[in-house]
Amino acid sequence: MSKIISYVELETLPIATFFGKSREIELYGRFFDEVIDWVSCDILIAPALELAAEYCLGAIDALHICAAKYFGAEFISAEKPTKPIYQAYSNISSIYED
């Protein structure tokens, strides 16, 4: 298991587990099973630190944005569009957008 999986699981699973959201937990499980490439945390740490300092991001948000940038992927956020994470990456969408 790659280190990055632990970060992603730490970000997504605890709240779903605490509130017993079995459908959400199942969705995350299917997602993790289908991922074919994980970027090494070693590659992400330095740019995440810079990004976090520049945009006032939390550690996990900075790691997620750096991973999305690394793969050129769209980032889907559960943060409201007013949060700083939206300034840090141009290919980001919110679950709150219409």
Tens of pLDDT, residue by residue, the chain (98 residues): 455 666 788 888 999 999 999 999 999 889 888 887 778 778 899 999 999 999 999 998 999 999 999 999 999 888 888 999 999 999 999 887 65
Q: What confidence score (pLDDT) does residue 34 get?
A: 84
User: If we measure between CA atoms, which residue out of 2, 4, 3 comes closest to residue 66?
Assistant: 4
CA distance 24 to 79: 17
DSSP labels, 66-96 = HHHHHHT--EEESS-TTSTHHHH-SSEEETT
| pTM recorded for the entire structure | 0.75
